[in-house]
Amino acid sequence: MKPNKLFRLFTAILLALVLCLACACGSNSSTNDPSSQDGSHSTPSDDQNKDDQDKNDQKDPSDDQDKGDQKDPSDQDEDDQKDPSGSQQGSQGGEKDPSGSEGQGSQGQQGSQGSQGGQEGNEGGEIAIPEWKGEWVSAIFGGGPFVEGKQSVLDDVTSSGFNTIMIWSVHVHGDGTLYLNNTKAVDNGELVIGQASVDFWSKLKGEGSSIERIELSVGAGGCTDFEEIKKYVEKEGTGEESVLYKNMHALIEATGADAVNFDDESCYDLNSAAAFGKMCAGMGMKITFCPYVNIDFWSKLAKELGEDADRVYLQCYSGGQLNDNQYKTWWRVWALSTGMRIIPGYWCGTGSGRCTASTVKSKLSRETDYTTGGFMWLYDDMMKMKSPNSTKDYAAAINEANPHKDEETPAEAFIKELSAVLPEKKRG
């Protein structure tokens, strides 16, 4: 063969070998590379699907009930209703998830739901409604007017129809002294406030007055009272010789208080709060809470204090507005988490974020399965208002929302039955 033909033949054979090798390499690559398989992300096997289904079927049956109409709090428009005067709620800002303090977000919510689902003694995951105790609370917070001792204020509140007075607010200073707002009240166990205040407090309850209970409210938004309490508990304890004990005892004696209200909005230290609560309970006080967020903390504190804690005044305004916007969920969650029916509260007035008396009645009448009354904040504002938003109007709004108001007491029922069987001449 001629050289040219030999060269062409050799070239053809060489090309054929190269093509064969290329095909062989391609075939091996497609077999071994997982990324070339159909459906690059493997699909769980039927057994895995079944296991997942079994897990879904084993959920706590209370989960669906607990979370039925609960919405993601992040879906709510944040409506910042700060108090322009810079008073209590001004520091709270806009709506926050009630289940956690600021910064906890929805994680705190899940935690509270988890503890809620773990209530003991409920078969099948069902959670019992806190027992109705037969009381309907109508409470009002008051600042300066409840300290200054004016007769006009005394006449107004004792004839109002409110049955609970909140003396707001006790502040614990760094040297251990107690102030009522900006007025020094107790120093080293000695009462230093004016006699007019003591006389005022002594006349709050009694014949002709609608007031049955006085509470001392400790703390406020933007204050460090519970941080100071924590320091004193850790430094001195809560024995009778401690500054904290002596000062609280003196103030309780002077005011005739029946309870101490905790308005902790920043510290949330369980150990010191429980110690402080037990100290006050040892003086004969009931302990009440005034939360707006952090269900986890308040529910743990309720368990620590047991029967010494008997009321939850739930803020449904300003920073606690979410408690009202989603009341069907949060009122239930607060009640079940703390083991107590709640007392929702509103800010009086006609401006943004405030409620008229008629609005309060409407709100409190929406859901009464988990409530036991209502409260108003703040008398300092209310005393400047007139009918149909007077002190009496707000008290009536709360009292008339009571679903039990027309029920007979056992004594009334007995008298009625007795009257029905007695001869006419022997009645009366």
CATH code: domain of residue 312: 3.20.20.80
260 inside domain: yes
Q: Is 328 a member of any domain? A: yes
What pLDDT was estimated at residue 99? 72
| The pLDDT of residue 16 | 58
* 113 domain-assigned: no
**CA 95 vs CA 78, 103, 201, 328: distances in Å:** 6, 12, 35, 17
What is the model's pLDDT at position 161? 98
On whether residue 9 sits in a domain, the answer given is no
pLDDT on residue 421: 77
pLDDT at residue 7, as a whole number? 52
Per DSSP, 205 falls in state S
The pTM assigned to this predicted structure is 0.72
Return the pLDDT at 113. 37
Strand (E) or helix (H) holding 200:
helix 195-202
Q: Report pLDDT digits (tens) over 197-243.
A: 999 999 999 999 999 999 999 999 999 999 999 999 999 999 999 99
Domain-located, residue 173: yes
- 182 within a domain of the structure (yes/no): yes
Calpha distance 332→128 (Å, rounded): 11
* Residue 97 included in any domain: no
List all residues 6 or more positions away from 34 whose beta carbon is below 8 Å from its beta carbon.
40
Rounded to whole angstroms, the Cα distance separating 86 from 68 reads 37
pLDDT for res 8: 58
Q: Are 329 and 69 in contact (CB under 8 A)?
A: yes
Identify the three-state secondary structure at position 214.
strand
289 is a domain residue: yes
Nearest-CA neighbor of 111 among 97, 96, 100? 100
Compute the distance between CA of residue 314 and CA of residue 77 in angstroms, rounded to an integer.
Answer: 21
Predicted confidence (pLDDT) per residue in 117-132, tens digit: 334 333 445 668 898 8
From first CA to last CA, the distance across the chain in angstroms is 146
Number of domains in the chain: 1
Which residues of the chain are modeled with pLDDT < 50? 2-3, 18, 22-94, 101-124, 427-428
Annotate 112-140 with b (16+ C-beta within 10 A) or e (fewer).
bbebbbeeeeeeebebeebeeeebbbbbb
Domain limits at 374? 137-411
